[in-house]
Amino acid sequence: MVSASGTDYYSASSNDYGAYVYFTSLISDFEALYDQVLVENDSALNVSSRLYGITNSTYETLIVYSSIGINDKVLSLASEFQKLGECSFYVSSGSLSFRRGMEERDYVSARNALLSMETGLSSCREAVNSISSVELVGENNESLRLDVTGLSSKLNGVEGLIGEYRRALDAAEVPSNFSVFISKESPMVLDNVTIFGYAPNMSSVLLVVNGTLYTPELGNGTFRLVYSFPRTGTYEVYAVGVNSSGSFKSNVLLVNVTRIPTRIIAEESRGEAVTVSGYLLDYWSRGVDRVPLKLVVGGEVYPLVTDSEGFFNATVNVSSEVNATVLFAGTSLYAPSNVTLLLLPAKLRPTIRLFYEGGSVKAGDTVTITGTVTPDISIPLVIYVDDSPYTTITARGDFSFQVQLGEGTHEVYAYFPGSDELQASGSNVIQITATPISYTTRILLLLAFLLLAGLGYKFLTRKKVQPVVEEVAGERPVEAEFGEASPDVLGAYRVVYRFLRRLYSLPGSITPRELLSRFRGEPFYNDLEKLTVMHERGLYARMRFGISEALGAVKRASRVIITAIVRDEL
């Protein structure tokens, strides 16, 4: 979640523990599958089909969301588990087909099934090795690796089962004709297939693929060659064998090689604009890179090109519900594909603003914050204090809420999580400082009040004594008789003058007006200004003040002193 000020408040979890738990569970499922394969249970085929579907769906889901921050290691694991699902299907289906071929004495089908099991086992071992090498991050930042020990042991058992099948097939099969077969009748271009056959009494065998000679593995009256067709089209395949009687030609296979199937995974993302994004994948779920696509929305066509990972995206204008189709026309290697999506209009993002003009507060005080939501619609807001949910309110137009804050500086913001019609939105961030309650200062405050109250009483009730001379910078000496109103005003000012000069280490030459200017903007400035004016009137104009005015001067003097000492408490 990003605030209006640009602060990212939320991010995806920084550990992979959830993925670790999920994939550990999948490993247990595959171990259970191979337990059934090893006891030749026919239901293993259904289990492997289900696991293949789960792993394929997991990978496709993660690859769609990889553009918004899915961990690359998790995506890599999902890809390897998808491969494990596919090759496990080949192993389980091959086992079932082999047993049926042997029962029906269809030894060609049985050998083809055996080849499928061997290919599947090899691919599964590669996938398991890759899975074991991926390092994930746990909840406490510890390193986590998936335990594949049990699964590897099961695959070793499958290797032993394949050996038993091969020996049974060799014992039962009595080759009589020089013949050639292929593991897939209509293979895809670049897909590995096995060309195999029977060569009784042949000392050497050559395979011919569209006129090109290849030397296959030869042994026990059989031969085989793993081959991938480089282009689409029809290929002529046969074998030539040699023995003491001469050379012989096998049957001829016409192999139709097709383009690699593709599929498009796409989704709509509704924000301030509508975005269509996704991947073009081949049969093996690899991204098809650098190929053109078309996105058709209503009557508009948006040309697209996949990147090196097969990813594409486009931002489109949508004012109402409309179908969109992503089209891939195909190439010489890849078959065409398409997918259709239902697009909805872009979502409106509400604007949320918070306001606070109160400055710092005391810890524990209740603070009222106001805000506005535009447009004028009712939405739920989660109020956060220091990135933790504090309360939830319903806001529309102008709104307000209250928070209680502990000591320190706090950040307050509001967040709308979004809805079917509106985008998620965050407010600006309000910073509020809550100062601690100082009981020591409050005691000083009380003592200062008592002291100055006593001083005022002394000024107003003291009997007349001999004149004394009090000096303030810039004044002429004044004979002040305590007990008279005017000198009491002058005395109150002189107490303040001396106090401020000492508290702020000011020079003794500073004049009353310079002193006043020095504290412009301070909380006690108004009291000091009025006290200074009374001082000037009493000193220069010889104005005499009444009892109430003298008391007022003493009160102002006390407020100046108290505010200067404990200004943040007032």
CA 302 from centre of chain: 29
Residue of 539, 533, 537 lying closest to 513 (CA atoms) = 533
Strand residue runs (E) in 146-209: 179-182, 192-198, 204-209
pLDDT value of residue 328: 97
**What distances in angstroms separate CA 323 from CA 264, 318, 340, 343, 344, one per listed residue?**
16, 10, 7, 6, 9
In CATH, the number for domain 174-258 is: 2.60.40.10
Strand ranges for 222-307 from DSSP E: 222-228, 233-243, 246-249, 253-257, 262-270, 274-282, 292-297, 300-305
Instruction: Examine the pLDDT at 211 and tell me if it is beyond 60.
Output: yes
Q: Identify the residue whose tokens are 């691919």.
A: 123
Q: Are 143 and 133 in contact (CB under 8 A)?
A: no
Is 371 in a helix, a strand, or coil?
strand
User: Which range has the worst mean pLDDT, 169-178, 477-486, 513-522?
Assistant: 477-486
Residue 286: burial class (beta carbons within 10 Å; 0-12, 13-18, 19+): middle
CATH number assigned to the domain with residue range 10-173, chosen from the 4 options 1.20.144, 1.10.238, 1.20.140, 1.10.287: 1.20.140
Whether residue 70 contacts residue 118, with contact meaning beta carbons closer than 8 Å, is answered with no
pLDDT tens-place string over residues 340-379: 999 888 778 889 999 998 777 888 888 899 999 998 889 9
Specify the long-range contacts of residues 12-16, CB closer than 8 Å, at least 24 apart: 12/69, 14/137, 15/136, 15/137, 15/138, 15/139, 15/141, 16/71, 16/73, 16/74, 16/136, 16/137, 16/138, 16/144
Q: 3-state DSSP call for residue 55?
A: helix
Q: What is the pLDDT of residues 239-277, one digit of tens each?
A: 999 998 899 999 999 999 999 999 999 988 877 778 899
- Please give the Cα distance from 257 to 189 (Å, whole number): 6
Task: Kindly list the domain boundaries of the chain, sorted by start residue.
Answer: 10-173, 174-258, 265-343, 351-435, 439-569
Structural fold of domain 265-343: Immunoglobulin-like (2.60.40)
Q: Which of 533, 439, 491 is nearest to 499 (CA)?
A: 491
Q: Once rounded to an integer, what is the mean pLDDT over residues 178-202?
A: 91
Mean pLDDT of 381-399: 93
Residues in contact with 19: Cβ distance below 8 Å, sequence separation at least 6, in sequence order: 71, 74, 77, 136
- The most distant pair of C-alpha atoms in the chain lies apart, rounded to whole Å, by 154
Lowest-pLDDT range of 4-8, 235-239, 283-287, 307-311: 4-8
Q: What is the mean pLDDT of residues 440-461?
A: 55
In this model, does residue 440 exceed pLDDT 70? no
CATH code of 351-435, in short, is: 2.60.40.10
Please determine, for residue 32, whether its predicted confidence score (pLDDT) is greater than 60. yes
In one letter, which amino acid is 217? E
Let me know if the fold of 10-173 is the same as that of 351-435.
no
| DSSP letter for each residue of 470-485 | E--TTPPPEEE-TTSH
d(CA 116, CA 92): 9
Does pLDDT of 25 surpass 70?
A: yes
Q: What is the CA radius of gyration of the chain?
A: 45
Which pLDDT score is estimated for 570? Answer: 46
Cβ atoms of 214 and 206 within 8 Å: the answer is: yes
Q: What's the rounded mean pLDDT across residues 548-552? A: 81
Tens digits of residue pLDDT in 479-493: 433 334 344 788 888
- C-alpha to C-alpha distance for 31 and 42, rounded to whole angstroms: 16
CB atoms within 10 A of CB 192: 14
Of residues 35 and 12, more confidently modeled: 35
Structure-token pair, residue 550: 């003298």
Cα 102 from Cα 562, distance rounded (Å): 105
Indicate yes or no: pTM above 0.85: no
Please report, for residues 56, 257, 563, the alpha-carbon distance to residue 328 in angstroms, rounded to integers and kept in the order given.
21, 20, 78
Write the single-letter amino acid at 58: T
Residue pointed to by tokens 């280490």: 505
Contact criterion met (CB below 8 Å) for 243 and 205: no
